[in-house]
Structure 1
Amino acid sequence: MADIFILMLFFVLNGADGSHIVGGRDSAPHSRPYMASLQIQGRPNCGGVLVREDFVLTAAHCAVPLQYTVVVGVNSLSGNEATKQELTAVRSFPHPNYDGHANDIMLLKLNSKVQLTEAVQLIALKTGRINVATQCLTVGWGDIGDNNTLARTLQEVNVTTLSQPVCRLRWRGVPITRTMICGIGSHSFQGFCSGDSGGPLVCDGATAGVVSFSGRKCGDSKTPDVYTRISSFREWIRSVLNNN
């Protein structure tokens, strides 16, 4: 039974091979100054957000044996914008209870502090409760067509949160825990997939979730997008930041 479950997760979960937003729109240039692109040898792999001048919040499934180059302050990853800053992630802190599915959250310490500018800003952590049908936003640089068509500029899509019972019913046996938030796009096939991994679910201007996993087809409401619920990990985040 365990082997069947692991195999099912292999097919439905999108790992750190590059997530994507489909059915979204271009973000206004530098309107999401908290966004970070995690790159390996110049290739975007995951997203994240700046939560301190020297720390990025992302997903634990984005952990890799190589060092990440962390790019902030850009709208396009292919351009050479004057606002661009590049740093290196020198240490990773995946949640100690990450099991390949639950507790999918990680902090990355940078080799130096970013310079805060109009194009590079921190984002607050959402502390209050996220109600059902809350209107939020997901942001990322991945595939915009569910066919390896990479975004030229930063993309965003509106997301509506779902109740846990509805999400569990649609996922049909895949564990949806209280430490997760589920969301769907406003229309069919809108949402994230796999290089938006680690990116944010932004609600009321604060980051409420981390892009974790979705179904085989991007933005399919039959398998709602699932985010790690940041409010469930406030104490762990605070502990890592305070000790580093």
Structure 2
Amino acid sequence: MVGSFILLLIFVLNGADGSHIVGGRDAASHSRPYMASLQVRGQHNCGGALVREDFVLTAAHCAIPVPYKVVLGADSLSGNEDTQQEFTAVRSFPHPSYDGHANDIMLLKLNGRAQLTEAVQLISLNAGRLGRANKCLTAGWGDIGDNNTLPSTLQEVNVTILSQQRCRKRWGMVPITSSMVCGIGVRVLQGFCSGDSGGPLVCDGAAAGIVSFSGRRCGDPRTPDVYTRISSFSTWITSVLNNN
């Protein structure tokens, strides 16, 4: 099964891969104030979303053996912006049933509480049904051409939600569970790619999914992008937040 698809993060401390949007566009400056950059040794490694002043939601496959530096309020990761706030992730909560494929969700507790500003904001969680009528997008920093071309600012791309039936048919033998949601770009070769892990799928202004895995070719509609469906884990998220 592992050979049939690519998990979006293979952790390597030296030269860890970054978030990866192909066929997207520059996000308006600080228009996605919930975005978090999870960094190792100064390099962006995974994305995330700020769901409480001291908690970031990301993917379980982003778990690493060293603490992340978490950067909030960033537009460009190469500059020293006054809007940026930096924290250390002092504890990680990967879902206890994460098996390397399903239940790919994790919460990170920060060593302090973010100050909410115009550039740093919380995002609410989507608890409703998703379909083609939803206005969705995903965002991230990293290679924009599937060829190690890095953007200067945060990138975003529109996402069209696919039905479970269509997604399962396209993925074939790879299991697509009810706790996953699938999406494709408006055009071919649009979407996330190897490394855009943990970033949010945002539908109608709320976080509905978490970047989990995709196919061998970025943006290929034959192997739609797969996100962890956040609404499937509402009880678990609430429990972790309330107990910490």
User: Which letter maps to 1:151?
Assistant: P
1:63 aligned partner: 63
- Establish whether residue 7 from structure 1 lines up as the match of residue 3 from structure 2: yes
1:201 aligned partner: 201
Structure 2 counterparts to residues 26-105 of structure 1, below 5 A: 26-105=26-105
Root-mean-square deviation (CA, aligned residues, Å) is 1.0
1:232 aligned partner: 232
Structure 2 counterparts to residues 134-149 of structure 1, below 5 A: 134-149=134-149
1:122 aligned partner: 122
User: Which letter maps to 1:167?
Assistant: C
Runs (4 or more) in structure 1 with deviation over 3 Å come to none
Alpha-carbon distance in 2 for matches of 1:113, 1:183: 33
User: Which letter maps to 2:163?
Assistant: S
Question: Partner of 1:234: helix, strand, or coil?
Answer: helix
Contact 1:85 1:114 in 2 (8 A): yes
Alpha-carbon distance in 2 for matches of 1:50, 1:69: 14
Question: Partner of 2:240: helix, strand, or coil?
Answer: helix
Contact 1:141 1:195 in 2 (8 A): no
User: Which letter maps to 2:105?
Assistant: I
1:171 aligned partner: 171
| Structure-2-length-normalised TM-score | 0.95
| Structure-1-length-normalised TM-score | 0.95
The percentage of aligned residue pairs carrying the same residue is 74
Pairs aligned (count): 238
Segments of structure 2 that go 5 or more residues without pairing to the other structure are 11-16
TM superposition shift of 1:14: 2.1
Alpha-carbon distance in 1 for matches of 2:187, 2:4: 26
Segments of structure 1 that go 5 or more residues without pairing to the other structure are none
TM superposition shift of 1:136: 0.4
Question: Partner of 2:207: helix, strand, or coil?
Answer: strand
TM superposition shift of 1:133: 4.8
Alpha-carbon distance in 1 for matches of 2:152, 2:192: 16
Q: Deviations over 1:137-193 (max 9, x none)?
A: 001002100111122100000000000111011111100000000000000100001
